[in-house]
Structure 1
């Protein structure tokens, strides 16, 4: 395995003069090990493995304009390692679309490489000092390269020209594509400048894996517009990918006795639809809290809540009940607080009538739902002490109290908030609004 810097050609990349189906299977095994180490939280173990995946993928790109020729036909047809298969894939006349008998999805290679780059960027975001000489110490270049890979896979001739088979959608690639866009949106907020996306697209040495990736991306890509995209624009693009991925994501409990397992096993076999949904919603929720505009925070927190709500239909819901209930409380706290900020400002300026407006009622409803979810989350956890949960509950109670015109109700909410926080919140006599 090659663990040298991904900014340059790998030390072992040019040592072998061919790539065949057996090499593809070895690549899948290496990626599975890297993903396992990443999921286990071992960055020191995962990053060298991810470098190995990138270098091995680079070797495939050297020998194939489209590496999917190795597995885009049944195994007996796709094991050869020469260039003839490559020529057939790119120049074949358009046949009648046939039933998929491929051993892998056409985008399997691009899903592995793009996901490896996404995970690579995540680890660099945690600790930039882990980058080797020549490698960027910021995550965005890796995420942008992942987008290039995904777009290249999406635009393979076998997909856009109808020269391939009727293969199912690569839902995993769509999910990671969306997660990558969320990460870029988060980075754009942190850097406070959309131009950072342009600055984080370096010129790579021509022999590097990243140069090979850039050379294969389509002439016109959606990524070209990201330099002028706002975080909200990026989230809209991410939502499109998430919607596609969730729609095509399997329902194991529904299909268990009706359909045979799919033959396409590019990723590790362990799969939990609930885990996938929770990961998507959690990452969108964390991003929603950081968005600058209240209406954007409200929209994306509501979107995250809708995904959390989907999880109630999953077979393993019991194991997720506590985290989901807590997370939905966070969603509604953001929704209610987004509406409350402007209302509180108007009340502070003396406009008490705003407390009787439809907007104030909607804010109170959202905050009331947040309180309800937080209290249920505590019950699900058996009443165990949870400082963060109590802090969020206190925040919801205080904000709800600030929007309450009835003095007695308001003071009761404030008292509950003090009990939950365990400290004097400096509320005094409230906002001094008459009922």
Structure 2
């Protein structure tokens, strides 16, 4: 066992964590579940499941509108969840926390407004490592406005080319969008430095935090970005709920995304006026239970020792990387020096889809394909990868189980 692994083992009680996740006791085809698909979605602790059940069991009601006790209780929990999120990311104001269905919708809210603000003289800067949600949205906004989409290259290791990032920034750059962490490679970007450089040319900055929010503390005031977006389900919360955080001065004037109930302050047959923040950006009946479940996930996560969590996850990645490097016929895709718990790889024997299928028969759950990052896969010269992604409840024994299963895969496909 490496020194990092010993340090992680002494500082972090992973078995106590695992006991809080009922799904981890499952078996797949008679074998213990080894869940290594956390970059796709994390599992949920019992307290989050209980929070969802409790809402539907005790105070299910629509929020803000009802003249009865159930509505009051639901509204208090729902708006309390907004406060929890604001505190978690150190927002300047609770009004800056906008509920969405997830990271993808959050980016679309910003991109839809941006398309109305761009001109043909403007540029939008993205990177070669983007998830489709943080690429296609800006691509379409540029097409509608005539602006230019500029793509910052990455190095063969999967890390951003920082020299090129600096060189491509200019006074025409209207917005810069980049991931906190690459979903396909695990590359951890220097988001504070990138933000500072973009702000130096007076560009707006959006950080796709879908993969970063569960692995690093996020303080939007320290970062200095204009928008930070993320989903609950990557942070041990429910699916179908996410957050667009944006600076209040921007969101107050940003073009609205959807119209309907709640976001209206006054309506006639000929015109309408929008509500104040945060409601002007939230049309229709919201995902009330999702917000409540997300807040419970944040409370649960916030009680953990983040230094111990990061040490544990680093030990998992170190063990996986060491075993992968020693595995004959396996090539790691994405070797940036700064990474979080993602091991993306290809094997000489077998297509990634075949690898994933055969691992599943042994109880090991991973993801295969291009991971909604098709242009990135083309840049790296692979059709797709097999991706094992780790979280706080994974163990070093599960890393060993992954490679024991891969040895069987190699034998079957060889």
* TM-score in same-fold range (> 0.5): no
Output the TM-score relative to the length of structure 1.
Answer: 0.22
Using structure 2 for the length normalisation, give the TM-score: 0.23
Higher relative contact order (CA 8 A, sep 6+): 2
Larger Rg: 1
